[in-house]
Structure 1
Amino acid sequence: MEAKITVEKVDQTVFEGDSGGYYAWSNSKTPLLSDSKLGAGKLLLHPHGFALPHYIDSQKIGFVLQGAITVGLVTPNSPEEKVLLIKKGDVVPLSIGAVSWWFNGGDTDATILFFGDTSKALIPGQFTYFFVSGVLGLLAGFQPDFVAKTFGLDHKESENLVNSQQGALLVKLDDGIKFPEPSNHTKDKLYATIDDPSGEVVVKGRGFINYLTEKNLRVLGEIGLSARFVKLEGSAMLAPSYVADGSVQICYVGKGSGRVKVVGSEGKPVLDSKVEEGDLFIIPLFFSSATIADDCGMEVFSMVPSSKPIVGQLAGYTSAWNALSPVVLQCDFKYYFRIRTSFQVEEFRKYHNHPPK
């Protein structure tokens, strides 16, 4: 019995208010999350929305879906705060245990999608956040004498410190608060753009694919994750492929719509579904998948819990079909090739690799 794959929209509201909201895909609705030890969530920040400083129990990647966000990062035991200004199409990796804050200083909403590896998380398939301050903050759990000794305060001052922030998770800040300027030389070290149309694989009139691995963003090697962005023009197809190193894929449709098919070891579709903006689906280990965009085109963000994944192609120039000799193809596809010569097989392969426009 092969894994059951479903296509799901975000179903759990963790927090919602005038500052924005945080939403998650739950294990109950998407059980493959816990089975695959992956987590998925989405942060919406309205203008002047501020996510309080926190750390998380998982390695994760943030994809900016819309807007621009100022982010502060402090790694464990580091005396330095790194400040980033990330915008739509940027990807920022986040290390487990690192403290971060998120602020929307613009005039429009900002949304960031999070995918992560929850193999070390408190609850596999879910992210757990630990806030430094606020009504759910860690300081609130310590008695005033602990806080007083920690920060060199008297009893009254420690009580005022703990109770000063009455918000939880997200708060809306007043106009005029000036946040730090972005740190110098952070791009290409702490974050990168993934929706660049001059991508790693570009097919004119059909779309492009971009990969972010430890090869082009070193911090991904430290957290063991990688990212991919696929843009398909109207009616274009992403040919069948699989992750050859045995990594699972988690995918999100950021724009447009299309059809996704996933095939498992028994040669039968385990997913054949229409997908649209906001849908999430998971491709299990070694399963092969293909995507065809609708007339409107389609954009898909995905993450693999490996910093240097190996993607195997089932069609195209780098596929096994291109490498196999004509006689092997004749034997492998006996019915189709039984009356064809080696020359005709070679011509078929050329068409397969470079179909006419």
Structure 2
Amino acid sequence: MADNGESGASAADTTTTHEDGLIDFPFKLEAQCLLLPHYADCSKVGYVLEGRAVVGVILPGETKERAVLIKKGDVITVPKETYTWWYNDGDTDFCIIYLGDAAAGLTQGLITYFLVPGQAAVYNGFSTDFLAKACGVNEEAATKLFSSQPGTQIIKPEKKLCVKTHDRDRHGIVLHEDSARFSNHVPCGGHVVSMTKDNLAALEGRFRFSINITKLEPNAMRVPGFFPAIQLVYITRGSGRVQISGVNGATTLDKEVAARSVLVVQKFYVMAAVAGSEGLEWFSIITSER
């Protein structure tokens, strides 16, 4: 997604494709800006790094829209075909990192977005008489309805939007890292939070991966370990050193990492990490439901 040229609206279009169709996509929405309603052909999960936003969500198979407030530390699931819009109702930038699965997308390894309103709306491919008949209105009304939004992807409304959110709407699709149980915790060393279909219901049947959030205290070590699945790792804070060992004990990675570094760990490869003086944290997905 990209800036549509309107004041105050911006987004980072830096999607990176990795092995097995996995992707990472940092996204920023400036204060009081609105990402117009859309859906996509791929599933992704987001981890909020900074700020807050109101998100409208209609999941596949549901007809009622949910409205949720998400803030730093929240994880939100966005299955493919999900209808969403995003509004930054705060006074600072809203920053989120998405990790996703684009292996089965229209274009393998890429997410394709379908906007509902605006100049690039998917409905613009229909003639006015078709749209009028579909909506049960005359052609003049249809023209007004489908051309009333001049923006493309992100707009800045003239007035602040007031949207009522409900905590109950978070159930199954949003979970804060502090609300999830530790799957591993070492006092003064760090902890790992795991999110699966057991504590984030939207993952069941819609995603082929689970989620981990790992936090190491300064100078602590994440001892060597492996998953029987591919792991995509995004460093969210701090710095440190990561090593990965593969077949026949070959070193496949030995590097210093910092915030915004991205790593791919192949299935059965062993990863270890040592945090620097400020600690080391990462958000990751593993191509296994467990």
TM-score range, shorter chain: over 0.9
Deviations 1:209-263 (A, max 9, x none): 111011222221232331111111111111111113xx21111111111111111
Q: Report if the CA contact (8 A) 2:39-2:83 is conserved.
A: yes
- What CA deviation, in whole Å up to 9, does each residue of 1:338-357 have, x standing for no partner? xxxxxxxxxxxxxxxxxxxx
After superposition, residues 103-118 of structure 1 pair within 5 angstroms as 103-118=87-102
Counterpart pick for 1:161 among 145, 164, 167? 145
SS class of match (2:248): coil
2:277 is the counterpart of 1:295:
yes
Rounded to whole Å, the distance in 1 between the matches of 2:195 and 2:16 is 27
Give the aligned residue type for 1:15. A
Partner Cα separation in structure 1 for residue 180 and residue 47 of structure 2: 16
Deviations 1:140-199 (A, max 9, x none): 1111111111112222222222221121221112233212x2235233422111256973
TM-score by length of 1: 0.76
Of 39, 58, 71, the residue aligned with 1:55 is 39
Q: Give matches, 1:288-327, under 5 Å.
A: 288-308=270-290
SS at match of 1:185: helix
Which of 3, 15, 36 lines up with 2:2 in the alignment?
Answer: 15
The question of whether the paired residues in 1 share the 8 Å contact of 2:50 and 2:93 is answered with yes
Matched, 1:189 2:172: yes
Q: Determine which of 208, 212, 225 is the counterpart of 2:195.
A: 212
CA distance in 1 between counterparts of 2:221 and 2:36 reads 41
Structure 2 length-normalised TM: 0.93
Q: 1:53 to 1:64 in 2, by over 3 A?
A: same
Tell me, what secondary structure is at the counterpart of 1:113? strand
Q: Distance in 2 between matches of 1:297 and 1:82?
A: 36
2:15 alignment partner in structure 1: 25
Q: Residues of 1 paired with 2:180 and 2:279: CA distance?
A: 14
Tell me if structure 2 keeps the 8 A contact 1:196–1:210: no
Offset from partner CA, 1:38-57 (integer Å, 9 cap, x none): 12212211111111111111
Amino acid at match of 1:81: E
Percent identical pairs in the alignment equals 30
Aligned-partner Cα distance in 1 for 2:136–2:105:
33
For residues 230-241 of structure 1, the aligned pairs below 5 Å read 230-241=214-225
Give the SS at the match of 1:300. strand
- Structure 1 unaligned runs (5+)? 1-13, 28-32, 309-357
SS of residue in 1 equivalent to 2:97:
strand
Number of matched pairs:
286
CA distance in 2, matches of 1:187, 1:77: 17
For 2:188, the aligned partner's letter is: G
State the Cα distance separating 1:76 from its structure 2 match. 3.2
Structure exhibiting the larger radius of gyration computed from Cα positions: 1
Task: Supply the distance in 2 between the matched residues of 1:80 and 1:197 (Cα, whole angstroms).
Answer: 26
Say if 1:145 and 1:197 are closer, same or farther in 2 by CA, change over 3 A. closer
Residue 313 (structure 1) aligns with: none
Are 2:181 and 2:194, in contact at CA under 8 Å, matched by a contact in 1? no
Counterparts of 1:169 and 1:121, CA distance in 2: 20
Secondary structure (helix, strand or coil) at the match of 2:235 reads strand
CA gap 1:197/1:307 in 2 versus in 1, 3 angstroms: closer
Aligned-partner Cα distance in 2 for 1:45–1:89 = 16
User: Which ranges in structure 2 are unaligned for 5 or more consecutive residues?
Assistant: none
Question: 8 Å contact 2:40–2:112 — kept in the other structure?
Answer: yes
Structure 1 partner of 2:244: 262
Counterpart of 1:282 in structure 2 is 264
Alpha-carbon spacing, 1:114–1:230, altered in 2? closer, same or farther (3 Å)? same
CA contact (8 A) 1:39 1:118 kept: yes
Supply the distance in 1 between the matched residues of 2:240 and 2:38 (Cα, whole angstroms).
37
SS in structure 2 of the partner of residue 130 of structure 1? strand
| Aligned residue identity for 2:246 | G
